[in-house]
């Protein structure tokens, strides 16, 4: 043929830049994007855009299937590197706790309020019902959780649980116990979030049920005049843990809401948007469960004085409140300028 | 033979519009690939946990610390493995990397940390919950007499959620729905030599007329390309002979053909030149059945 193909000339002209991009991508995917030098990082977006333009041209002028496929693949891989998640795990974590998590919690304030209301409603219901008929305790609390405690227990044995230093079976296993509590509770919390996918009703029910259980316990202890001691035992870790439970249940309900009432958006789009926000809260709640597990498993077993226990409960409540209401707020325009 | 693969399964192609306004095509990962990557990842998790347990068991630390570390590591491994890798490896876990899979944002935006976390926390309900129930680890269920029913329920649950991707065209699992992501297969294609490059001078040996070059369309051209690119595979010589014979008959070629392969390469170059020139004038001929 005397006239060479336009597509072949096009390829000869641009091939060097494709090869260069290919080498950069191989380096970035093998050793991470941080392995690229400053010059290479400068070249990356340029080469990416050049390849995208080559791809558009090739689609209109070339019938070389291998070339088209190569450019599709090259462009898509470059796209993923150029627009992919770039930040390291630690940066993400720091940003998460400093900004994302508290902001996401504030964004879900109505759901959190509803979740807390459900928990309290469950607690009041459980308390009233159990007070009227102590045998209802068994309807609300599973035997595994009651650990032999119940309406028929004596004041002495009830008190003993609250002030056991954990010397019997747990004496030398406090750290293990703490981690067991953490993994167990975090598992339930994540479940409350994830079942939100089924419409959010189950998430709400899990909150109400937790309330029922606590109410039933409180009623039993109240009959023996041990209310003060019970809350001293429960609240130091309970403030953190119940916050985490409420957060998980709340975002579970938010997820269900997105599914049932998507509003102006398409249903799946609403689910995807709310799901991302909700996951932030659920992940943060896992961190709260971790702290609560430490307090519950180690601190509570060591500290017997009700005064100290209440002080810790109060302090954790104040800290959490301050964190969720203050952390991650945008500085005012003036503050940023000054 | 990578040449016609992409076109072979048009049902699995998706285009994402990049911020530059050029659509980039991806292949949705097949269910089998997803399952394979997942099995590999679970295997890695189990191996990591085993290795960790063995290593701390022999360090001589106190039993309490060992127990605590074991619980913590187990939780981190099962809950955060996927999210941590997908964050730091741009949408890939070790299993996905081995099978060339990748998580991408469904609307072409950057893959955010929230999306990664959301899609992986859903595993809690998709997988870990029924697994725990199956082994009687949750809610003290095994203690209550109805254990077998719960186990049956757990098995059905796992089936429902793991088959869920097979019932939608983008192979989305529930986590993908909640996070707005999907999983693509992005193998690296290699750029092979241009088939027209080697024979520009000798093309005059086979002077095709325009009528002869108007018999076939782009589809046939690319099938021919895939035949020519399969040089070196078994049966290549037979294939070349059959195809050359067929083309000669179809375009009514009357000249002498000393070498089938050279004939095919020349025909490919001439045919591509003709079709591409017509494309420049806005006339794209998809296949031989295209009469426009």
Condensed to tens digits (0 to 9), the pLDDT of residues A12-62 reads 899 999 999 999 988 887 777 777 888 988 999 999 999 999 999 998 888
**How many Å lie between the alpha carbon of A317 and the closest alpha carbon of chain B?**
25
More confident residue, B88 or B173: B173
> For chain A, which residues make up each domain, given as ranges?
14-86, 92-337
Rounded CA-CA distance A272/B224 in Å is: 44
Q: Do B118 and A279 touch (CB under 8 A)?
A: yes
Which residues in chain A are closer than 8 Å to B5, comparing Cβ atoms? 69
**How many Å lie between the alpha carbon of A52 and the closest alpha carbon of chain B?**
7
Q: Which of B14, B17, B118 to mutate to test the interface with A (most CBs of A within 10 A)?
A: B118
* Residue A266 confidence (pLDDT): 84
Rounded CA-CA distance B238/B253 in Å is: 20
Task: Give the SS3 label for residue A132.
Answer: helix
By CA distance, what is A180's nearest residue in B? B71
Which DSSP letter does residue B2 get? -
Instruction: Answer whether A170's CB lies under 8 Å from A301's CB.
Output: yes
Q: What string of H, E and C letters represents the secondary structure of B164-227? A: HHHHCCCCCCHHHHHHCEEEEECCCCCCCCCCCHHHCHHHHHCCCCHHHHCCCCHHHHHHHHHH
Residue from the list A2, A77, A178 with its beta carbon closest to the beta carbon of B68: A178
Spatial neighbors of A92 by CB under 8 A, at least 6 apart, are B87, B113
The continuous run of DSSP H or E covering A171 comes out as none
More confident residue, A206 or A4: A206
Query: What is the DSSP secondary-structure string of A40-92?
Result: HHHHHHHHHHHHHHHHHHHHHH---HHHHHHHHHHHHHHHHHHHS--S-HHHH
* Residue A143 confidence (pLDDT): 66
How confident is the model over A55-102, as pLDDT tens digits? 999 988 888 888 988 998 899 888 888 876 566 667 778 888 888 899
Angle between helices A38-61 and B260-280 (to 10 degrees): 90
Mean pLDDT of A179-191: 76
Q: Do B225 and A65 touch (CB under 8 A)?
A: yes
Which residues in chain B are closer than 8 Å to A84, comparing Cβ atoms? 90-91, 110-111
The ipTM (two decimal places) reads 0.76
Instruction: Answer whether B131's CB lies under 8 Å from A191's CB.
Output: no
Q: Which of A7, A150, A136 is nearest to A66 (CA)?
A: A7
Mean pLDDT of B181-190: 84
Q: Do B24 and A67 touch (CB under 8 A)?
A: no
Angle at the Cα of A34 (from A29 to A40), degrees rounded to 5?
Answer: 85
Residue listed under structure tokens 């020139």: B277
> Is residue B8 predicted with pLDDT exceeding 50?
no
Rounded CA-CA distance B206/A289 in Å is: 78
Instruction: Answer whether B285's CB lies under 8 Å from B275's CB.
Output: yes
Q: Do B121 and A190 touch (CB under 8 A)?
A: yes
Task: Give the SS3 label for residue B102.
Answer: strand
Q: Is B113 on the interface with A (CB under 8 A)?
A: yes
Instruction: Answer whether A151's CB lies under 8 Å from A220's CB.
Output: yes
Q: Which of A3, A11, A47, A65 to mutate to test the interface with B (most CBs of B within 10 A)?
A: A65
Residue from the list B88, B221, B279 with its beta carbon closest to the beta carbon of A61: B279
Q: Do B178 and A275 touch (CB under 8 A)?
A: yes
> Is residue A317 predicted with pLDDT exceeding 60?
yes
What the block records as the tokens of B156 is 């059905």
Q: Do B104 and A80 touch (CB under 8 A)?
A: yes
Q: Which of B25, B31, B80, B40 is nearest to B183 (CA)?
A: B31
* Residue B1 confidence (pLDDT): 27
* Residue B287 confidence (pLDDT): 81
Instruction: Count A/B contacts: CB-CB distance under 8 Å.
Output: 238
* Residue A92 confidence (pLDDT): 77
Q: Do A1 and B26 touch (CB under 8 A)?
A: no
Mean pLDDT of chain A: 82
Which residues in chain B are closer than 8 Å to A282, comparing Cβ atoms? 117, 121
* Residue B142 confidence (pLDDT): 41
**How many Å lie between the alpha carbon of A1 and the closest alpha carbon of chain B?**
5
Mean pLDDT of A223-244: 86
Confidence of residue B138 (pLDDT cuts 50, 70, 90): low
Beta bridge partners of B14: B26
Rounded CA-CA distance A257/A262 in Å is: 7
* Residue A318 confidence (pLDDT): 93
Helices (H), chain A: 6-31, 38-61, 65-83, 89-95, 101-107, 109-132, 137-140, 143-146, 155-163, 174-194, 201-223, 227-260, 267-294, 300-302, 306-326, 333-337
Q: Which of B35, B33, B54, B31 is nearest to B43 (CA)?
A: B35
> Is residue B290 predicted with pLDDT exceeding 80?
no
Spatial neighbors of A232 by CB under 8 A, at least 6 apart, are A162, A306, A309, A310, A313
What the block records as the tokens of B161 is 């959620």
Confidence of residue B262 (pLDDT cuts 50, 70, 90): confident
How confident is the model over A275-307, as pLDDT tens digits? 888 888 988 888 888 888 888 777 777 777 888
Which residues in chain B are closer than 8 Å to A79, comparing Cβ atoms? 16, 18, 24
* Residue A165 confidence (pLDDT): 55
Which residues in chain B are closer than 8 Å to A186, comparing Cβ atoms? 75, 79
Which of B:10-49 have CB within 8 Å of A?
Answer: 16, 18-20, 22, 24-26
Rounded CA-CA distance B7/A76 in Å is: 17
Mean pLDDT of chain B: 80
Mean pLDDT of B172-195: 84
**How many Å lie between the alpha carbon of B203 and the closest alpha carbon of chain A?**
5
Instruction: Answer whether A268's CB lies under 8 Å from B107's CB.
Output: no
> Is residue B62 predicted with pLDDT exceeding 60?
yes
Confidence of residue B2 (pLDDT cuts 50, 70, 90): very low
* Residue A87 confidence (pLDDT): 64
Rounded CA-CA distance B61/B55 in Å is: 11
Q: Which of A288, A319, A292 is nearest to A193 (CA)?
A: A288
Which residues in chain A are closer than 8 Å to B113, comparing Cβ atoms? 85, 87, 92, 96, 100
Residue listed under structure tokens 């998460």: A96
* Residue B37 confidence (pLDDT): 93
* Residue B141 confidence (pLDDT): 42
CA Rg value for chain A: 29
pTM, rounded to two decimals = 0.73
Confidence of residue B3 (pLDDT cuts 50, 70, 90): very low
Instruction: Answer whether A289's CB lies under 8 Å from A241's CB.
Output: yes
Residues of chain A above pLDDT 90, percent: 22
> Is residue B87 predicted with pLDDT exceeding 50?
yes
Which of B:204-243 have CB within 8 Å of A?
Answer: 204, 218, 221-222, 225-226, 229
> Is residue A331 predicted with pLDDT exceeding 80?
no
Which residues in chain B are closer than 8 Å to A55, comparing Cβ atoms? 22, 24
Which residues in chain B are closer than 8 Å to A85, comparing Cβ atoms? 87, 90-91, 110-113, 116
Instruction: Answer whether B71's CB lies under 8 Å from A179's CB.
Output: yes
């Amino acid at each position: 043929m005397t006239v060479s193909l336009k597509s072949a000339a096009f390829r000869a002209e641009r091939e060097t830049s494709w090869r260069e991009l290919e080498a950069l991508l191989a380096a970035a995917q093998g050793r991470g994007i941080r392995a690229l030098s400053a010059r290479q990082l400068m070249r990356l977006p340029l080469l990416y855009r050049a390849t995208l333009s080559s791809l558009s041209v090739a689609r209109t002028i070339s019938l070389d299937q291998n070339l088209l496929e190569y450019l599709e693949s090259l462009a898509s891989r470059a796209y993923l590197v150029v627009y992919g998640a770039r930040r390291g795990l630690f940066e993400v974590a720091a940003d998460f706790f400093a900004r994302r998590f508290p902001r996401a919690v504030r964004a879900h304030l109505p759901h959190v309020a509803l979740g807390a209301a459900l928990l309290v409603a469950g607690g009041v219901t459980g308390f009233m019902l159990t007070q009227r008929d102590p045998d209802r305790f068994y309807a609300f609390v599973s035997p595994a959780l009651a650990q032999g405690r119940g309406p028929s227990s004596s004041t002495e044995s009830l008190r003993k649980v609250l002030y056991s230093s954990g010397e019997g079976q747990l004496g030398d296993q406090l750290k293990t116990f703490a981690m067991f509590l953490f993994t167990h509770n975090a598992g339930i919390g994540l479940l409350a979030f994830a079942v939100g996918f089924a419409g959010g009703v189950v998430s709400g029910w899990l909150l109400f049920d937790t309330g029922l259980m606590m109410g039933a316990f409180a009623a039993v202890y109240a009959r023996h005049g041990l209310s003060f001691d019970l809350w001293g035992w429960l609240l130091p870790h309970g403030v953190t843990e119940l916050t985490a439970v409420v957060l998980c249940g709340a975002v579970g309900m938010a997820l269900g809401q997105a599914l049932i009432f998507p509003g102006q958006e398409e249903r799946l789009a609403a689910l995807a948007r709310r799901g991302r926000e909700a996951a932030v809260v659920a992940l943060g709640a896992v961190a709260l469960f971790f702290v609560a597990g430490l307090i519950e498993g180690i601190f509570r077993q060591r500290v017997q004085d009700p005064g100290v226990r209440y002080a810790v409960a109060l302090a954790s409540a104040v800290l959490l409140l301050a964190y969720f209401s203050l952390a991650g707020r945008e500085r005012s325009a003036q503050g940023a300028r000054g | 033979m990578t040449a016609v693969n992409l076109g072979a399964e048009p049902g699995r192609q998706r285009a994402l519009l990049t911020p530059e306004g050029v659509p980039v095509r991806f292949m949705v990962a097949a269910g089998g690939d997803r399952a394979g990557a997942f099995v590999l990842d679970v295997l890695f998790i189990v191996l990591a946990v085993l290795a960790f347990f063995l290593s701390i068991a022999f360090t001589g630390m106190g039993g309490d610390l060992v127990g605590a570390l074991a619980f913590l590591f187990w939780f981190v491994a099962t809950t955060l493995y996927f999210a941590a890798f997908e964050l730091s490896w741009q949408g890939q876990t070790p299993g996905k990397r081995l099978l060339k899979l990748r998580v991408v944002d469904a609307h072409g935006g950057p893959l955010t940390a929230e999306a990664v976390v959301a899609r992986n926390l859903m595993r809690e309900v998709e997988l870990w919950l029924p697994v725990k129930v199956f082994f009687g680890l949750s809610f003290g269920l095994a203690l209550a007499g109805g254990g077998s029913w719960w186990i049956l329920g757990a098995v059905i649950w796992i089936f429902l959620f793991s088959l869920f991707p097979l019932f939608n065209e983008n192979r989305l699992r529930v986590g993908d729905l909640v996070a707005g992501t999907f999983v693509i297969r992005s193998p690296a294609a290699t750029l092979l030599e241009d088939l027209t490059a080697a024979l520009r001078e000798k093309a005059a040996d086979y002077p095709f007329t325009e009528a002869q070059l108007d018999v076939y369309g782009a589809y046939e051209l690319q099938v021919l390309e895939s035949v020519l690119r399969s040089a070196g595979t078994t049966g290549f010589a037979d294939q070349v002979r059959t195809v050359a014979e067929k083309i000669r008959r179809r375009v009514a070629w009357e000249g002498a053909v000393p070498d089938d392969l050279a004939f095919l390469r020349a025909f490919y170059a001439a045919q591509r030149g003709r079709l591409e020139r017509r494309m420049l004038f806005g006339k794209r001929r998809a296949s031989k059945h295209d009469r426009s």
